[in-house]
Amino acid sequence: MGNKETIEQTEKYVTKTYGRYPVAFVKGAGARLTDADGEEYLDFLAGIAVCNLGHSHPRIVEAIKQQADNLIHTSNLFHIGPQAELAELLVDNSFADRVFFCNSGAEANEAAIKLVRKFFSDKGQERFQIISMEQSFHGRTMAAMAATGQDKVHKGFKPLLEKFVYVPFGSVDAVREAIGETTAAVLIEPIQGEGGVNMPPVEYMMELRALCDEKGVLLIFDEVQTGAGRTGKLFAYEHYGIEPDVMTLAKGLAGGVPIGAMLATEEVAATFGPGSHGSTFGGNFLSSAAGVAAVRTILEDGVLENCVKVGEYLTGKLNELKADYDFITEVRGKGLIMGMAMTIKGADIVSECLEKGLIINCAAETVLRFLPPLIITEADVDEMIGILRPVLDEYKSPETS
Ligand SMILES: *Cc1c(COP(=O)(O)O)cnc(C)c1O
């Protein structure tokens, strides 16, 4: 089968939930993908920050094969070795004391929202409101969608789950004003991904922590996109010199195998007793074994160091583009989550790059987003720029810029 057959089959049988590019990949290795027609691509998207170790990394493949040979699934009615091991690994390398496992980012946020509500309910306090940020993205399930500060995500699904309020990203005053008697938590991405790679100032994050402490409000970090080494540290919060009370992970946590996790301090996590929350698949043998392999590889194989080094190189190259094209207004990000803000829309640029064998992405309509595997080299960056530059040249003329 070529691209065409898969495209036709998809269009006939799959819900039209996604605007898909006309490509069906069949093979991957490192930062390279091959489609069903045999065309090769350089991947600067990594399955949207999922394949942080590149495609089919040998350590992930080996872990999955070995685990599949032994046992794939039992149930959370029993103890699960790899789940316990992954939990220990995450606790040892974060602020957290306990981990709840699920299967996606939205589910991890659902767990966090339920956890903070129950935490206050157990104390006999009527605190259930959650303050989240404008332009945030927390997922597509009912609670995660309600937490998401984007009208376009809510459209057609009202009435939303109650008691969510959105404030401008980066304003402590706005959070202070929004906090009331019933506020349970502030939910924030340490770097907004879908919102256009928006960076909060370090002071803002520190003030947010102090404000939450002052008001007795919990702080939840959604690190679904920024966790698992993406920013050059295992978790993005490490850049800000503060710690959240609750953190959610998913995307890059298991090298491409579906997984989600919600981490919390002992004090907060203790509210989840037997029967309070659960997931059939959450933390099963296969996903946990892949997670252990992914996290160990990120920590042990110089992946973070490479992310920082190549991230700086990429930043330099994107800033060169900014100097050369007046429609580029800002280059921002950390490690290998980078955004290039423009005054023009990015969708056509992304499509043209794809035709030329480069996978990039556009967030918030006008921000080109770069989320390559963390194992890419400077030569890969040069190759990427070599494809992107001639595409950008087409937008240089006054009538299109
Ligand atoms: C992708 C994403 C989610 C949703 O994750 P799913 O696995 O698609 O449910 C939530 N939060 C952030 C910050 C994300 O980037």
Q: How far apart are CA 263 and CA 99, in angstroms?
A: 4
Q: Is-same-fold flag (3-56+305-400; 58-300)?
A: no
Q: Distance (Å, rounded) from C-alpha 139 to C-alpha 141?
A: 6
The answer, yes or no, to whether any atom of ligand 1 lies below 6 A from the CB of 139, is yes
Domain range list for the chain: 3-56+305-400, 58-300
- Pick the residue whose CA is nearest to atom 6 on ligand 1: 105
Q: Is 173 a catalytic residue?
A: no
Q: Tokens in use for 272?
A: 């989840």
Hey, CA dihedral for 331, 335, 336, 337, is it positive or negative? negative
Tell me the pLDDT of the chain (401 aa) as tens digits: 899 999 999 999 999 999 999 999 999 999 999 999 999 999 999 999 999 999 999 999 999 999 999 999 999 999 999 999 999 999 999 999 999 999 999 999 999 999 999 999 999 999 999 999 999 999 999 999 999 999 999 999 999 999 999 999 999 999 999 999 999 999 999 999 999 999 999 999 999 999 999 999 999 999 999 999 999 999 999 999 999 999 999 999 999 999 999 999 999 999 999 999 999 999 999 999 999 999 999 999 999 999 999 999 999 999 999 999 999 999 999 999 999 999 999 999 999 999 999 999 999 999 999 999 999 999 999 999 999 999 999 998 665 44
Per the annotation, the verdict on 101 as an active-site residue is no
CA of 400 to the centre of ligand 1 (A): 33
Query: CA 401, CA 393: separation in Å to the nearest integer?
Result: 11
What pTM value is reported for the model?
Answer: 0.97
Ligand 1 binding pocket mutation candidate from 138, 224, 247 (most atoms within 8 A of CB): 224
- Write the residue with the smallest CA distance to atom 5 of ligand 1: 105
Q: Which amino acid is at 51?
A: C
3-state secondary structure of 150: coil
Ligand 1 pocket: which of 225, 230, 235, 281 to mutate (most atoms <8 Å of CB)? Answer: 225
397 exposure class (CB count in 10 Å sphere: 0-12, 13-18, 19+): exposed
Out of 118, 251, 317, 334, the active site residue is 251
Q: How far apart are the first and last CA of the chain?
A: 40
326 CA distance to ligand 1 middle (Å): 32
**Segment holding 4, helix H or strand E:** helix 3-13
CATH of domain 3-56+305-400: 3.90.1150.10
CATH topology for the 58-300 domain:
Aspartate Aminotransferase; domain 2 (3.40.640)
